Amino acid sequence: MIRFDGVTKQFPDGTTAVDDLSLTAPTGKITVLVGPSGCGKTTSLRMVNRMIEPTRGGISLDGQDTGRMDAAELRRGIGYVIQHAGLFPHRTVLDNIGTVPRLLGWDKKKVKDRSRELLEVVGLDPKLGNRYPTQLSGGQQQRVGVARALAADPPVMLMDEPFSAVDPIVRDQLQDEFLRLQDELGKTIVFVTHDIDEAIKLGDQVAVLRVGGTLAQVAEPQYLLAHPADDFVADFVGKDRGYRALQFEHAPRLTLHSEPSVVVGETPSSRASWLLVVDDDRTPLGWVEPARVGDRPVASEDLHRGGTVARASGSLRGALDAALSSPARRGVLVDNDGVLVGTVRAHEVLTAIEETERPERDEDDPVHGGAMDVSGERG
Amino acid sequence: MIPSILEWFRDPMTWSGPGGVPTRLLEHLWYTVVTVVIAAAIAVPLGLWVGHTGRARWLVSVANSLRAVPTLGLLFAVSLVVGPYIPGDLAFTAPSIAVLVLLAIPPILAGTYAGIDAVDPSARDAAKGVGMRGRQVLWQVELPNALPLLLSGVKSAMLQVVATATIAAYLGLGGLGRYLIDGLAVSDIGEAAGGALLVGLLAIVLEGVLSLLQRRVVSPGLTGRTARGSQDGDDAPQAEAPADAPVDVRG
């Protein structure tokens, strides 16, 4: 658990970057600091490993005041990932990953084994181990950055906009893998971003900061979307927050309809206006209009690919999108293996939405109301 | 001119005795190496310190302005003023070496400082952030990354010293400069030009030696000499779709 206790940072030129910040990042969870530029989110992050010293207030790590620890020792126990990865250009990928274990004095063989292992953990080809950073793509560099931070298995990780310098598709991929990794590792993470979508996707808890370094609101993402504390937060979380919040609502209550389907390569027997096409494993491929196909087998060129497919165990957002995007107006749902389960209509999803309860509002404390409960006290 | 140079080179006298080419060449090499080693011993630590701490950057500018001082004049001035106080042969060699050192310091200092200054700020930030102490940042990250520019500075200092050490022969420093001076004194073009040629050759050889050294000590990650491996598997493997995201229907 990382605890900010009335932390203020004033720079010598008189600007206040962080103003009386009190916040708790619970153990094993991802706390995202988000806000516009100049809100002090990076400064706050860098005060945790004392890359910046607070002017007032203190930060404690599992109850220990970081200000009393040796700064270098403290940092060796905290994984640190930064925007452009900050890899050492003169060292190979493996040597980069082994940096902290070497600082901690592990023996060479152990360092090497651990570095190889991490290459795999972050999903990189072992062949890349002997390359140099300049030979890697931005996304690969960022993976190496994460591997380096994880090398000595620190319980705490600080991540400063780690995915913002890569293109959107790679970013999405890195985020998904990061969440998968976190599921396995359960680190205490403080994550800085300026991107509210990223904050909501990754955060177990999201802290919105405003310019001048004050905390506007800290809450779990669904609470934040449902009950922004003020106009600033409401503006910041965006106009489509209602739709976005649906991604936290699971959709088990939906009643599914069985959907007639045809296996690709066979001739449709149904004369419905739209017919779902599946492959041999009953994985949905797309829709066809039997009237257009006529009496010949369905080929992959006939497929209408506009519709999305959602998992039945997934969120209401996925189910609604599947229904809205389907040319047949019937949203396709699959199980976790991608096998067709059935279809659902948009109005049925909407009905389910109307029946779900929104996170309840904490009237007493609009700023900390939806924050994660940390051993009975509010941070 | 060329026949007279060839004649000088063919003359057995050119190659033997205390005034012979091997001896002069060794003298010249010795002064050059001593000068560059002393200059590097001063300029490298200073450059590292200025670059690492960011303090006293004016030192680099001051050193650079030293390059404008006329070397020959300084050489005479120093040996005239200091020479009488130094006993024996050192009276001539010490001032000459000192002036040459002064000449070699600016390029090495500038190269070292520029090398440290050019280190990617995010690499430096990461080095601190993963828990390196100041010295570890300097030795493990800043210095290795500064090496290409640092060694360029040494190279250019070396070339300058090789060339300038010829004029130090005026003061009895010996070396290949003697041929130039003696040759010019008796209008022996062959000897003068032959000496100049030897200085040029020595410069080229030293440049080659330093370039080899550079290849050995500078990380391939900095020189781009590494085989540009295929970028296949770029950001692979594909992430699995997260449980709550819609997946596109694909044919």
The CA–CA distances, whole Å, from A364 to A207, A218, A359, A367, A368 equal 18, 14, 15, 9, 9
Nearest CA in chain B to A327: B249
Residue A255 lies in a domain: no
Predicted local confidence at residue A313, as pLDDT: 83
CA distance A378 to chain B (A): 29
- Let me know whether A307 and A192 are in one domain: no
Q: What does B98-147 look like in DSSP terms, one character per residue? A: HHHHHHHHHHHHHHHHHHHHTS-HHHHHHHHHTT--HHHIIIIIIHHHHH
pLDDT confidence tier of residue B226, bands split at 50, 70 and 90: low
Residues A24 and A91 in one domain: yes
Are residues A178 and A75 part of one domain?
Answer: yes
The answer to whether residue A208 scores a pLDDT higher than 70 is: yes
pLDDT bucket at A374, cuts 50 / 70 / 90: low
Query: Which residues partner with A81 through β-bridges?
Result: A159
Shared domain check, A215 and A92: yes
The per-residue pLDDT for A68 is 93
User: What Rg do the C-alpha atoms of chain B give, in angstroms?
Assistant: 26
CB A49 to CB B122 under 8 A? no
Q: Which of B14-23, B106-115, B233-242 has the highest mean pLDDT?
A: B106-115
Nearest CA in chain A to B136: A103
Structural domain includes residue A146: yes
Q: Does residue A373 form part of some domain?
A: no
pLDDT for position A354:
84
Contact B244 A317 (CB under 8 A): yes
* Amino acid B175: pLDDT: 82
- Tell me which DSSP letter residue B238 carries: P
**What's the number of domains chain A is made of?**
2
Residue A161 lies in a domain: yes
Alpha-carbon gap, residue A206 to A193, rounded angstroms: 10
The answer to whether B33 touches B205, Cβ cutoff 8 Å, is no
Amino acid at B118: A
Given a contact cutoff of 8 angstroms between Cβ atoms, the answer to whether A46 and A54 are in contact is no
Q: What percent of chain B has pLDDT over 90?
A: 39
Task: Examine the domain organization and report whether A188 and A326 are in the same domain.
Answer: no
Tokens 């530029």 found at? A37
Q: Are residues A108 and A235 in the same domain?
A: yes
**pTM of the predicted protein model:** 0.78
pLDDT tens track for A282-291: 999 999 988 8
Looking at the structure, do residues A288 and A332 belong to the same domain, yes or no?
A: yes
| Candidate from B129, B136, B247 with C-beta closest to A309 | B247
Handedness of CA A52, A156, B138, B111 (dihedral sign): negative
B251: closest chain A residue by CA:
A285
pLDDT score at B23? 83
What pLDDT, on the 0 to 100 scale, is given for residue B245?
A: 38
Of A76, A131, A134, the CB nearest to B131: A76
Chain A contact set for B226 (CB, 8 A): 131-132, 134-135
Q: Across the interface, which of A88, A91, A284 has its CB nearest the CB of B249?
A: A284
The whole-number pLDDT of residue B225 equals 64
Test B249 with A286 for CB contact under 8 angstroms: yes
- Which range has the worst mean pLDDT, A232-236, A284-288, A374-378, B171-175? A374-378
- Return d(Cα A106, Cα B63) in angstroms, integer: 43
- Which residues of A fall within a CB distance of 8 Å from B115? none
Inter-chain touch B130–A132, beta carbons under 8 Å? no
| Secondary element (H or E) of residue B157 | helix B143-164
Q: What are the residues whose beta carbons fall under 8 Å from the beta carbon of B226, sequence distance 6 or more? A: A131, A132, A134, A135, B220
Most A CBs within 10 Å: which of B142, B151, B244, B250, as the mutation test of the A interface?
A: B244
Contacts of A336 in chain B (CB under 8 A): 243
What CATH number should be reported for the domain holding residue A149? 3.40.50.300
* Complex confidence, ipTM: 0.77
Instruction: Please answer yes or no on whether B129 and A322 come within 8 Å at the CB atom.
Output: no
Q: Supply the pLDDT for residue A113.
A: 95
Closest CB from A100, A311, A336 relative to B131:
A100
| CB-based contact B133 A76, cutoff 8 Å | no
Residue A378 lies inside a defined structural domain of this protein: no
Which residue range forms the structural domain that includes residue A338? Answer: 261-355
User: Would you say residue B177 has pLDDT above 50?
Assistant: yes
Residues A232 and A129 in one domain: yes
Q: Which of A203-207, A354-358, B233-237 has the lowest mean pLDDT?
A: B233-237
Q: State the average pLDDT over residues A236-257.
A: 81
Q: Categorize the per-residue pLDDT at A338 as very low, low, confident or very high, splitting at 50, 70 and 90.
A: confident
β-partners of residue A340 are A334
Please report which confidence band the pLDDT of residue A42 belongs to, taking 50, 70 and 90 as the band edges: very high
Stretch A8-32: mean pLDDT = 95
Contacts of B243 in chain A (CB under 8 A): 311, 313-314, 336
Contact A82 B122 (CB under 8 A): yes
Q: Averaged over A33-45, what is the pLDDT?
A: 94
Going by C-alpha positions, the residue among A251, A266, A258, A332 that lies closest to residue A298 is A266
Angle at B228 between CA B227 and CA B231, to 5 degrees: 140
Domains of chain B: 22-221 (1.10.3720.10)
Average pLDDT over residues A373-377: 57
Q: What does the pLDDT read at residue A266?
A: 87
Question: Looking at chain B, which residue has its C-alpha nearest residue A103?
Answer: B132
Which range has the worst mean pLDDT, A39-53, A322-336, B70-84, B133-147? B70-84
Whether B244 has a pLDDT exceeding 80, the answer reads: no
CB B206 within 8 A of CB B37: no
Same domain? For A227 and A265 the reply is no
